[in-house]
Amino acid sequence: MSQSRRLGDVKVGDALPDLDVELTAAIIVGGAIASRDFTPVHHDRSAANAAGMSDVFMNILTTNGYLSRFVTDWAGPDAALAKVAIRLGTPNTPGDTMQLRGEVTAVDPEGGTVDIAVAAKNSWGDHATGTVTVALPK
Amino acid sequence: MPNAALEEAFAPFVGQDFGPPEIARDPVNEAMIRQWCDAMGDANPIHWDAEAAAKTHHGGIVAPPTMLQAWILPGVRLADPDRPPSDKQEELHALFNQHGYTGVVATDCEFEFERYLRVGDRVTAKATIESISEEKATALGIGYFVVTRTRFENQDGELVGSMVFRVLKFKPSQPPQQASSGDAAPAKPQRIPAPRGHDNGWWWEALDRGELMIQKCSQCGTLRHPPRPMCHACRSVDWEEQPSAGTGSVHSYVIMHHPPVPGYDFPVAVALVDLDEGTRIVANVVDCPFEDIHIGMKVECSIEELGGVKLPVFRATS
Ligand SMILES: [Zn+2]
């Protein structure tokens, strides 16, 4: 983490190191509380059941938090996120595993940014897919 | 059918702000940042190590950018079921709820960041209802997509970032799933069994026994499928059943990629099969490369248990 990735070190097709997150109620509820999102379906199973879900499920801020962390783990402390755009899919529930994967799809030497196609999968399919744009030092 | 009364009622919401700008209760602070980083397993030192952060171009401790919305969310108050709608978005959702569109699911979220927030900054957010789609049929039920945009500024009025959010407000078309207990892995989604009623239960029960049946009009002899009470040819309600040999040919087919219905591995081949007896049935064609499937292809039926449901499938006749 102390080493920052430089723009010149990155090329299209580079894969980010895989990150598998074993989902627990603590991660899901902890993420909801850290984001001050007390919508009941994210911390109360009976509310989640009433909404048609088998259990509490991850809120979007936590999904974004994990996706951005996944990218900055790779990019290093000098990186700055410019954009996180995701399509949301299958819910993350306790007991499942969220598999984060990423691949560089564009490098902009002028703008100093890199586009990364990211996907967070779970046992139901795509939890979230999208693009993260990050500025790297030259 | 689009809901004209609803559409008329929601039209004035488009373009409106949620309400007055929302001002963060607390300035950006290290405690909330640390709690966020703990929850996300984020070890980036720019968020907690002042010395290490000072050596980066960030120049000091900064908040994780995707935490932006957390600074203005109301916290525990959100869990109060009796809380009246407090802004235009909640009024809009209440309006959808009144019309039976009680389901809500977020479909897209897009953040753009202009600058990182520093400890001591105070966030102000201004949110707008940007658009509401026409009525759409989705896998969850019919509904409307609502797009909102939130603009976040710091105490100096500088743009920090923006968030575009798309949600579907829908009429739920499926009953709630069974509750699970403990931290067990969620059950793999199964195929949704067809509802069995007075008019079609007998057909599914025959399938359960391994028999593919065809309904036949007792008056004029016309075959029909799927099962229904009245003959489309002579309007007689007298009918009998006859077994099908399960042989036929592909009348038409599609390779379906979307939407992903639970219990299937996509893409799947869905065919309309002309049974040799003279009626048609919709079923999957399996064990055949998609490029080999063609109109007129001879197929034969097999009744198989798939995802907990007995269903007819067709294979190319060898
Ligand atoms: Zn008839």
pLDDT of residue B193: 79
Taking the C-alpha atoms of residue A97 and residue A92, their distance in angstroms, rounded to an integer, is 8
In a domain, residue A94? The reply is yes
As given in the structure block, the two tokens for residue B137 are 């049929």
Q: Does residue A105 form part of some domain?
A: yes
- pLDDT in the model for residue B140: 77
Beta bridge partner(s), residue A4: none
Tell me if chain B has a CB within 8 Å of the CB of A55. Answer: yes
What is the chain B residue with the closest CA to A37? B75
Q: Shortest CA distance to B33 belongs to which of B129, B91, B115, B119?
A: B119
Query: Is residue A2 in some structural domain?
Result: no
Per cent of chain A over pLDDT 90 is 88
Q: B152, B163 in Cβ contact below 8 A? A: yes
In a domain, A108, yes or no: yes
pLDDT confidence of residue B153: 97
Model confidence pLDDT, tens digit, residues B304-314? 988 778 999 99
Alpha helices (H) in A7-132, listed in sequence order: 25-34, 45-50, 60-75
**A7 — contact with chain B (CB < 8 Å)?**
no
Say what the pTM is. Answer: 0.69
Mean pLDDT per 10-residue interval, chain B, length 318 residues? 85 91 94 97 96 94 96 86 80 91 90 96 96 87 93 96 94 54 49 84 94 96 95 95 96 88 83 96 94 96 87 93
Whether residue A37 contacts residue A61, with contact meaning beta carbons closer than 8 Å, is answered with yes
| Residue A23 within a domain | yes
pLDDT at A50: 84
pLDDT at B234: 96
Q: How many residues does chain A have?
A: 138
Interface test with A, best of B77, B177, B183 (most A CBs within 10 A): B183
φ, ψ dihedrals at B11, nearest 5°: -55, -45
Q: Please tell me the predicted confidence (pLDDT) of residue B183.
A: 40
Give B304's strand partners: B311
**What six digits make up the tokens of B272?**
């309309």
pLDDT of residue A49: 87
Yes or no, beta carbons of B109 and A85 under 8 Å apart: yes
Note whether A54 and A93 are within 8 A (CB): yes
Total number of domains constituting chain A: 1
Residues 72-111 of A with CB under 8 A from B: 72-73, 77-78, 80-88, 93-96
Token pair, residue A57, equals 């499920």
pLDDT value of position B306: 81
Alpha-carbon torsion angle B69, B75, B78, B83, nearest 10 = -120
pLDDT at A2: 53
Q: What is the mean pLDDT of residues A63-73?
A: 97
Determine contact, residues B288/B302, Cβ cutoff 8 Å.
Answer: no
What is the CATH number for A20?
A: 3.10.129.10
Min Cα distance A104 → chain B (Å) is 19
Closest CA to B111 of B65, B156, B168, B146: B65
CB neighbours of residue B233 within 10 Å: 13
Please report the domains of chain B, with CATH numbers, ordered by start residue. Answer: 4-28+63-170 (3.10.129.10), 201-316 (2.40.50.840)
**What is the residue range of A43's domain?**
7-135
Alpha-carbon distance B243 to B277, whole Å?
A: 10
Partner B, chain A 20-39, Cβ-Cβ below 8 Å: 21, 24-25, 27, 30-31, 33-39
- Residue B187: predicted pLDDT: 53
Residue pair B119/B29 in contact by the 8 Å Cβ criterion: yes
Asked whether residue A1 is assigned to any structural domain, the reply reads no
